Chain A
Amino acid sequence: MGMTQQAEPAVTTPPASGPGMERDGRTKQRPLALRLLARPEIGVFLGAVAVFVFFLVAAPPVRDGSSMANILYQSSTIGIMALPVALLMIGGEFDLSAGVAVITSALTASMTAYQLSMNVWVGVIVALVVSLAVGFFNGWLLVKTGLPSFLVTLGTFLILQGVNLAVTKLVTGNVATDDIQDMDGFDQAKAIFASSFDVGGVQVKITVVWWLVFAALATWVLIRTKYGNWIFAVGGNKESARAVGVPVTFTKISLFMLVGFGAWFVGMHQLFAFNTVQSGEGVGQELIYIAAAVIGGCLLTGGAGSAIGPVFGAFMFGMVQQGIVYAGWNPDWFKAFLGVMLLGATLINLWVSRTATRR
């Protein structure tokens, strides 16, 4: 069992794009189409296309460019976090604190800048340090104690939720941060984290660009670098990975810190897009990130997945969430629609990959 999981990294390196078993000479090379379909991100790609076409037909406003920009914006705020969460899952771990960590970061930046009357960039840097530290703490505790990440990050999830509220209240006297719109550096930071630009008359949010840049970067890391191989290795089988010289501790901790980085980035977006942050926000988002990664073909057990899959996973989520509104369906059923569509899409995903890998 351990050996087959070990073989996973090889599956995702481009030259060997089929299940490892066909290399033993007893079977001939399968057709390209089937080999493509077997890749983890193809199922979700087809699922996303299906959902997209469905809403294109069912909801006329979706056909408009600005609606597409809105859907992509919603997808990007999920997607930017889904990327590091997916890498972490490939590395065999969970992070339940990812949702509230976003708010922790935004609160830190806002309060540091405001309370000390500093340039907002000071807050942004401090928030980055705090976010990376939270990620480091998660990873370090996991490695040191050997506890399951579900438990460790459930702990940090609760801690951060309490700290977000208590510290905000302690520092500002309120449960939301003060408006930092008029402070030095705000416009610069907004330009980077929360601006929009014009594409043929349509306002596109900059988060969409960042999302795609990060996805490309993550894909490159996963399939072209040693670090990428380490991620697959520690997620497949930690002990064998260690035995062949993969720095398991470093890989796990750095993956958690990557999630911290993602939380920082999305947190900064929220802060500079909305000027203030309520300390109770973010709860429940972690499941959406994990869902996007799982829909995107990342195994809950680790060792397999891609960075492109979660991009489509997040897109599917954003598409369904906004598509229901564009279609003007009865809002009482909103959550139920969302659940059914996601299950449906995931089943298509599963069916496609099963059909494709059947021999």
Chain B
Amino acid sequence: MSRTFLPLPRRLVPAVAVAAAATLVLAGCSSSSGGKKAEDADSGVSAGKATTPRMTIAMVTHAPSGDTFWDTIRKGAEVAAAKDNVKLIYSNDETAADQANLVQNAIDQKVDGIAVTLAKPDALKDVVAKAVKAGIPVIGFNAGMSEWQKQGLLSFFGQDETISGEALGTKLDDTGAKHALCVVQVQGAVNLEQRCAGVEKGFKGKTDKLYVNGADMPSVKSTITAKLKQDSSIDQVVTLAAPVALTAAQSVDETGSKAKIATFDLNKELIAAIKDGTIEFAVDQQPYLQGYLAVDSLWLYKNNGNYMGGGEAPILTGPAFVDKSNVDAIGVFAAKGTR
């Protein structure tokens, strides 16, 4: 074995030399502003570590990979797991059938608890029943407000998408908007449709819907630009994700439209945009809290038999509004990607 590996480092020598030389050259090209150096070296939330026996919790979501919102949920779950001496197994799949398989996988691993999102409740019904039958405590979060109780889940942490949409719609009335455009970045996603439906319900003015391709930002930008051009009476854009909101701001700017922008969900760039007034306000459902509470409450149930909501009521994590008045307080946390 060692014979086959020995020549390798020798061949690597020139490569290493080139890399080293490149580093030296690059050192002369440092940016004097921004960048990692300028970022605070703040670590995340930490609260020591519990001395309870090690346990395993599976978190199974319907999240698409690489989405900032879901990453925040996962961060909350990871921090709670670290604190509670929990081994967290995180898995996700957008397809309902595959998500059900992942839950089955967790049952097979004989985990001590499962936290699951019920975005497509019917598809997960059987497998959740199996977990409950196997004596594994199951907690719902983020999606499944109307179903968690029927399926025998212990608790539910999340926001009702329709209610939060309504709250946003009502708030638009206060700002004097007359004609809103609800931008959906994934066609056919139930929770996104509910948000738009909620906005339409709460808002006294007219609400139009627009589908954009969330996987391609240039296309998001030109599609919103096209819509603002097509209907100049639109004076309010509502987006359902923070990156889309920031792109919508560019579209509004380019078309010279008077439209204001409100959005669901936060990220750190969005915080800056709220500060400088580009984005009017954001509805925050506190994804970090959802992930954190899901893990923490399973730990508490295992160790002390407690469960929140008493099996009757869901625990609401939103909607909370973030606007100029409170953005500074929240911005500190959002900058770390935890809020």
A:267-308 near B, CB below 8 Å: 269-270, 273-276, 278-285
B229, A281: Cβ atoms closer than 8 Å: no
B230, A326: Cβ atoms closer than 8 Å: yes
A280, B64: Cβ atoms closer than 8 Å: yes
* Interface flags, B296-322, vs A, CB<8A=1, else 0: 000000000000000000000000000
B230, A328: Cβ atoms closer than 8 Å: yes
A contact residues around B37 at 8 Å (CB) = 117
Number of residue pairs A-B, CB distance < 8 angstroms: 160
A:31-71 near B, CB below 8 Å: 59, 61, 64, 66-67, 70-71
B211, A117: Cβ atoms closer than 8 Å: no
Known contacts: A64-B229, A184-B31, A328-B231. The answer to whether A274 contacts B246 by CB under 8 A is yes
Cross-chain contact of A203 among B33, B187, B213, B254 (Cβ < 8 A): B254
B34, A283: Cβ atoms closer than 8 Å: no
Does A131 lie at the interface of the complex (its beta carbon under 8 Å from any beta carbon of B)?
A: no
B:199-255 near A, CB below 8 Å: 208-211, 213-219, 221-223, 225-227, 229-231, 243, 246-247, 250, 254-255
Number of B residues near A (Cβ < 8 Å) is: 52
Does B267 lie at the interface of the complex (its beta carbon under 8 Å from any beta carbon of A)?
A: yes
Nearest CB of chain A from residue B31's CB, rounded to whole Å: 4
A326 to B255, CA, bound (A): 14
Known contacts: A122-B29, A182-B34. The answer to whether A282 contacts B218 by CB under 8 A is no
B215, A174: Cβ atoms closer than 8 Å: no
A120, B229: Cβ atoms closer than 8 Å: no
B219, A77: Cβ atoms closer than 8 Å: yes
Does B8 lie at the interface of the complex (its beta carbon under 8 Å from any beta carbon of A)?
A: no
Does A119 lie at the interface of the complex (its beta carbon under 8 Å from any beta carbon of B)?
A: yes
A278, B66: Cβ atoms closer than 8 Å: yes
* Interface flags, B58-84, vs A, CB<8A=1, else 0: 000000111110110000000000000
Chain B: CB-nearest residue to A168: B66
A133 to B226, CA, bound (A): 37
A302 to B321, CA, bound (A): 55
Chain B: CB-nearest residue to A203: B254
Does B269 lie at the interface of the complex (its beta carbon under 8 Å from any beta carbon of A)?
A: yes
Known contacts: A276-B269, A278-B68. The answer to whether A117 contacts B36 by CB under 8 A is yes
Does A192 lie at the interface of the complex (its beta carbon under 8 Å from any beta carbon of B)?
A: no
Nearest CB of chain A from residue B324's CB, rounded to whole Å: 20
Cross-chain contact of A183 among B31, B187, B221 (Cβ < 8 A): B31
Q: Known pairs A70-B225, A119-B29, A273-B217. 10 more at Cβ < 8 A?
A: A61-B229, A118-B30, A169-B71, A274-B250, A280-B64, A280-B66, A280-B215, A281-B214, A328-B230, A335-B211
A interface residues (Cβ-Cβ under 8 A, vs B): 59, 61, 64, 66-67, 70-71, 73-74, 77, 113-122, 161, 164-165, 168-169, 173-176, 178-185, 203, 269-270, 273-276, 278-285, 318, 321-322, 325-328, 331-332, 334-335
Q: Can you list the 3 inter-chain pairs with the closest CB atoms, starting with the nearest?
A: A280-B66, A117-B35, A183-B34
- Pull 9 A–B residue pairs with CB atoms less than 8 Å apart, ordered by A: A59-B230, A61-B230, A66-B229, A74-B218, A118-B26, A119-B29, A175-B68, A184-B34, A322-B223
